[in-house]
Structure 1
Amino acid sequence: MGVDNRQIQTAVLADPESDDPVVCPTDADELDEFREEFADTTFWCGILLGGCGGQLTTRRGNVRVSHFAHFPDPDGLLPECGRRSRGVASADHLYVRAATQTWLRRQGHTPRYRYIDRDDAPVGSLVEIELDGRTLLLHMNPATPPDWDAAQAGDIILGPGVQVDHHTLVRRGYVNRIKFVSEGNQRVMMLGTELPHVGTDWDFKLADCTVDGRGRLITPVVTRVEAARAAAERTPVPRPRSEKTEGPVQIGALTRLINTAVQKKETAAVRQLRDIAQLQVPRCEGQALDHLQRAIDHANDLLDEQDRVRWRLFTGLDEAVRHGHVYKVTTLTPQVRRFIQGDTVTTPQEAGILQAADTLLRGARQQAAQKRRAADERRAAAVREREERRTAETEERRSRPAAQAQEQQAQPVTQAQERKARNRARGRVQSISGRLRREKLSAQQQKHLVEELILAAKEAGDHLSEAEQHKVNEWVEKIAAPVEEPGTANKTSPAPQPQPDAITEPAKLPDRLVPAAAAVRGALKKAARERTATSWNRLEHQLGSALPSLTNNERVQVLVQVDRSTAGDEPLLSSLLAAGDPHFAYQYYRHVLAALGLDAPDDDEDLRDVVEADAEQVFTDWRFR
């Protein structure tokens, strides 16, 4: 049996006349995966590849790379085949159909493909794509020169290495090109446009291009060239005052216009004038040509830089839209729109990215508004429920005997109901403690409130923190202490009474806390713009010496001062602290709300919902501030 030493990297699938190509992986490990993927498929030395039509098998490489090899005939002889050491590019003409068929159909075309095979153009040299009476002719072989005057060719596209003479390139203004790059065991098409004195621009994909009704391939570069031509027809090159030196003066004026536009970085004007200048190159010579070409080079340098910035902006915006990063989309969209104001020609892909960004932002605004309305409704419902509950409890305490109250307390309840009841009782403890601290009450009023405080504390049980239980005990001891007779104050000095942890009014905020309040407000603004919740530990790490160590009461005082200037219809900036630190929300955020005259749900879960809605609205309100 003979050994097939021909290294064939490409084959077709299923039968010898197939136009469905495939590339053999060169890596041995990748070949194992390839064999598993195509376990039920046969490989052939395709006729359209210039092969013999024989069946192929994969050969695992030990010294050489892995490749396809021919099956020998029953006599053990290898078939005669001219394909030897042909690389992956030998099947590029077959990848044309796979790359363009869906793309053309989406544009309303019905493509039909023909692989020309004649003496002067071996198979694979020319690919015709018929589009409803028009023809795209792809030249894939450098040895087959294109016929630019052929009547049947609606548009000619050049493959890698196919040359075009300078005169033809200048006369046409541009030439479109095609090339393929490998991705796994497939080949991916890329399109480009070559301009005189500039070279080929490959910085766009198939989705950026279209085929118009005349069967012409329109790339973003072609769009700009045709726009420049139209502008040149509307705005002729400035004419000199004297007719004697017509040529040099016109070129000189055009050169000055280009240099001025480059200096001012007027991208649209530079692009238009650059394209006009390229059309003028064939009629120049000598020093005028040197000056004009130098101006064109300066224009190209600016446009290349602007195109790179443009690509980065649109790529970043596209990625942010696809991942749903609303804050990043909010930041990038104005930058993109400001950038394209100076260069309004956009590709279909760029227009699609902007449209997707606008759609995402509209949805985010609607969602934020819905959350805000839901939070307002929950707040209003919580206020109504609390007032109704207070009224009902007051009436119930006055009307029912103590035995009935104990009996009702002894009724079995579920674990969830007991937890909610204790949380509500804990909220009453906090509310009553706050009234005792803030309000000026008579002794009788204090005594009545302390009695309510004792009942609420018993109902809350172990849901009270040590600090909250300690404050309850302080008020009980204060009310139980004997009242001194008049005149006894001068005889003995009373023992110092524990002072309630009252919230200082903003007007009386200690001077040492004023800079801390300003620093905290600035940090919360920054967090709002960055759409991040925070915590007090994070603020201390972020602000350093600007935020000294504070007691919990001083933290509440600072936050009251921070949100004193917040409008009544806006959520508090300090909600970002409550959202980032649930312990802070449940223990101290209620004090901030109470000091600012705002209501808070008694239930911790309801409070958490309100905090999350407020934080989301803060992100929305501060994204442009």
Structure 2
Amino acid sequence: MGVDNRQIQTAVLDDPESDDPVVCPTDADELDEFRVEFDGTTFWCGVLLGGCGGQLLTRRGNVRVSHFAHFPDPDGLLPECGRHSRGVASADHLYVRTATQAWLRGQGRTPRYRYIDQDDAPAGSLVEIELDGHTLLLHMDPTTPPDWDALKAGDIILGPGVPIDHRTLVRRGYVHRVKFVSEGNQRVMILGTEVPYVGTDWDFELTDCTIDEHGRLITPVVTRWEATRAAQPQAPVPQPRTEQAGGPVQIGALTRLIYQAVQKKETDAARQLRDTARLQLPRCEGQALEHLRRAIDHASNWIQQQDRARHRLFDRLDEAVGYGHDRDVSTLIPLVKKLLLTDEAATPQEAAILQAAEAFLEEALRRAARERRAARERRAEEHRREQARRAAAEEERTARRAAAREERRLRREAEDQKRENEPEAQALDRKTRNRAGGRVQSITGRLRREALSTAQRQELVEELVVAAKDAGDILSAGEQEKVNEWTAKVAVPAAEPDAPTVPLPATRPPSQPDTITAPVTLPTQLVPAAAAVRGALKKAARERTSTSWSRLEHQLGSALPSLNNSERVQVLVQVDRSTADNQPLLSSLLAAGDPHFAYQYYRHVLTALGLDAPDDDEDLRDVIEADAEQVFTDRRPR
């Protein structure tokens, strides 16, 4: 929120006649800190501020900015306050004492301050500092022009926006300036020195400056300027002819200087040289007169163009401030200052435009800084919210995983409990039926794959019927159908009177053999491979990671030769043959890391070991994940 100049922003402390100023913070939170800092201190509409001398209070703003306000006058007896300037700059003349008193006393001076009150000037327009017979005079208001010849024994310092014409600046060689910036509830004075064609140098501290024996303010810029002036004597400048002229002006040199000033775009120098040339016209004739007139016309035309450009530039600056175009204002202010370096000093109207533009730009920069700070805070808040959302989502996912693991654990415990509660005979019967189911799959596989004689086929079918009878409800509908098909195809004596028979199905084409076998004994050449795979799976269990056949082959190298799918099944059956019935299979780690192998061939491993294998792939996947998680938990060697 910007400063509202309709509110009182400055006051003095403790007494209406005080010259100890203070600025009220405009931010509500900063005002709270301000009240704590100045607890027990009274604020006054000081007479040195042009105020009524009445007591002030601080008023906290919620919609408007915080500010000072007069105490209520219920009786209407207090005089009306005629104070005009109420912004933060209205007390700058009082901050001159705050900024300079300790510095001057450190140099052995005894300063005395006078705030000169004039009827036609605002309060604090002139500040006079008396220094043991010498005087420093500060002009703080542009509407009060300095009298450069009135003060001979001291020095003049110009406040913000106070103009000086270029001729006076060139004649004096330099002029000092001051400006004020806000720091908290105080105003800080900054000192600078302006030099012709260069501008104002603000890059030094007050402690770098001194007051000489003549009462002059000596800054580092003045020291450098005097050293340069002593080392490089100035070249003679043509002067207009007067009755006291020391000698004639060289017309040729004057003409060349006019053209050089125009070429270098030194507007003020071109004006002076043109005016000098006009005074020389009466004493010229012939070709010299013609050359001088052309030079004067050339300079006049160019100066007119510069004047029009100057007028347009100030109009554009004034318009940009009026429309609030801060980017245009920031671009135009340097152009205006550059123009004033090579031309006449700003008129009071131009100085007012420039001062308003600088104040506007300063406020725009503060506003932009506040907006950037607010944007950073918004981004930080959005980042915090996003982090919190991600943390909540991750916590929810973790909770779901934990709930799923807990559910699987409870299911396994229930199954284990159920098995423990079963009579031993029922447990043995279940294991027998599982093995019988494995024999059914093995026999039907041999019947499909192998070329058998009639007697061999009949013998296998007899074994199949017995195995199917022992398996009972362990067999799936598809497996029972295959048993019925082979029973009907081969006429065999019934092992049981109620052996089921169905019509003989068509034989499977030779091009679609099932190559998966799981013999009771592992072929000799696969025994080392089974041992290597068992060790690799135990290592994976300790590392709590799943694996795959390709990873095992890369890990084991020559210890694991290339195997077909039937041989892989045989190896895994051998790996988990010694696994207890109530323990998960080590081979579940391979099934968890290789879904294709799991869906296509892992069922054969489960069946060969006498374990249930769900028909649905998703159910099978759940079983594999639960077993793998349990393997990680147990981490026991197999």
TM class by smaller structure: 0.3 to 0.5
Larger Rg: 2
Q: TM-score, normalised by structure 2?
A: 0.38
